[in-house]
């Protein structure tokens, strides 16, 4: 075979469309337990990037940070820094608010290292699925609350500028009543009760309420824009959980959107390319950089 002239491809003029993964970054170590996050970020081009902090659903146990990494990588290739966070496991003796404290600590860690990772600390969103959606909503509603602040990176804020919730529980008392009536409670791991334990062998109504975004929501607070997405055939967390929160947020005058996924269940067929486009468009709109003096209508 005679040699032929090689194909010629011009070198890239910039690094747009490429991303890297920083794995196992320890953001806190409560009680000596290292908590990692996995950071996807665009190749360095000298710009600061908006940040999305993602919490994978896990029934408040140990999130699998890699479950959605292939999808999250798309955001990173298109200009977002994305962190997938691991929080403490309620089955290992870490009741509420451990998972919420951890998510907030991760946000503060990333803000503290914003220069190192080319993050714009003024443009931060939180996104979660199922229990992670619950964590995302609570994070957005309790920005900089002292009762959830740990000693990790205390000089930084844990407030966020946008929140995305995919099929997360919002009303704990209602959800527990439904689970009891359907017999679902008997199918749950008994260690899950550690999440809402009163420390005396019973369930704490105060913790259930504090974990319920529908009940935590109040008017006149500095909440960020909300995007709620939920399948109307979800057998685990009923669609009504998102619907009632959406209606309350609207009644209180907040910027909120609800996406009903027709026939969507819990995970599985909930996901589609269209859903990812809706989420990315929302993040891009809410986290866009504002020029000095610019007013967004």
pLDDT digits (tens, 9 = 90+) for 15-69: 789 999 999 999 999 999 999 999 999 997 778 999 999 999 999 999 999 999 9
Rounded to an integer, the average pLDDT of 127-150 is 98
| Cis amide bond preceding 282, omega within 30 | no
Mean pLDDT of 241-269: 98
Of the listed ranges 127-131, 182-186, 270-274, the least confidently predicted one is 182-186
Q: How far apart are CA 88 and CA 62, in angstroms?
A: 6
Say how far apart CA 22 and CA 153 lie, in whole Å. 20
Residue 187, pLDDT > 80, answer: no
Statement: residue 186 has pLDDT above 80: no
Please, which residues have CB within 8 angstroms of residue 220's CB and are 6 or more apart in sequence?
Answer: 252
Q: What is the mean pLDDT of residues 151-170?
A: 98
Which residue in this structure is represented by tokens 């607070």?
A: 221
Coil, strand or helix at 189 = coil
296 pLDDT higher than 80? no
pLDDT band at residue 188 using 50, 70 and 90 as cut-offs: low
Confidence of residue 293 (pLDDT cuts 50, 70, 90): very low
Structure-token pair, residue 76: 């990173």
Per-residue model confidence (pLDDT) at position 295:
39
Query: Please, which pLDDT band fits residue 291 given cuts at 50, 70 and 90?
Result: low
Look over the chain and give the mean of its residue pLDDT values, rounded to a whole number. 93
Distance CA 49, CA 28 (A): 23
What is the average pLDDT across 242-253? 99
Q: Say yes or no to pLDDT of 107 above 90.
A: yes
Domains of the chain from N-terminus onward: 19-286 (3.40.50.1820)
pLDDT band at 185 (very low <50, low <70, confident <90, very high): low
Long-range contacts (CB closer than 8 Å, 24 or more residues apart) made by 238-241:
238/175, 238/178, 241/168, 241/169, 241/170, 241/171, 241/174, 241/175, 241/214
Global model pTM greater than 0.85? yes
Range with the lowest mean pLDDT among 39-43, 227-231, 243-247, 289-293?
Answer: 289-293
96-105 pLDDT, tens digit per residue, is: 999 999 999 9
pLDDT at 6 over 70: yes
Residue 129 has pLDDT above 60, yes or no: yes
Half-sphere exposure of 67 (CA within 13 A, CB side): 16
Beta strands per DSSP E along 177-268: 226-231, 256-261
- At 67-97, the pLDDT tens digits run 999 999 999 999 999 999 999 999 999 999 9
């Amino acid at each position: 075979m005679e040699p032929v002239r090689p194909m010629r491809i011009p070198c890239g003029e910039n690094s747009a469309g490429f991303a890297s993964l920083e794995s196992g970054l320890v953001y806190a170590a409560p009680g000596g337990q290292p908590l990692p996050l996995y950071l996807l970020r665009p190749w360095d081009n000298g710009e600061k990037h908006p940040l999305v902090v993602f919490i994978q659903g896990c029934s408040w146990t140990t999130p699998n940070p890699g479950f959605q990494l292939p999808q999250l990588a798309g955001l990173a290739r298109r200009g977002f820094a994305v962190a997938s966070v691991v929080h403490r496991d309620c089955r290992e003796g870490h009741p509420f608010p451990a998972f919420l404290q951890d998510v907030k600590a991760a946000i503060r860690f990333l803000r503290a290292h914003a220069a190192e990772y080319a993050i714009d600390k003024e443009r931060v969103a939180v996104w979660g699925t199922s229990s992670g959606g619950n964590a995302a909503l609570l994070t957005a509603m309790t920005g900089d609350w002292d009762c959830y602040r740990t000693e990790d990176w205390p000089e930084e804020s844990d407030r966020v500028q946008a929140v995305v919730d995919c099929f997360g529980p919002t009303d704990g008392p209602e959800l527990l009543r439904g689970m009891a009536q359907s017999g679902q409670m008997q199918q749950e791991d008994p260690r899950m009760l550690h999440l809402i334990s009163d420390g005396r062998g019973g369930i704490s109504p105060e913790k259930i309420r504090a974990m319920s975004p529908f009940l935590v929501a109040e008017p006149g607070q500095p909440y960020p824009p909300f995007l709620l997405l939920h399948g109307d055939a979800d057998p685990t967390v009923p669609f009504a959980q998102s619907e009632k929160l959406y209606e309350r947020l609207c009644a209180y005058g907040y910027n909120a959107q609800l996406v009903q996924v027709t026939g969507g269940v819990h995970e599985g067929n909930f996901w589609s390319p269209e859903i990812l486009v809706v989420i990315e468009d929302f993040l891009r709109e809410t986290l866009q950089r504002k020029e000095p003096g610019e007013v967004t209508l």
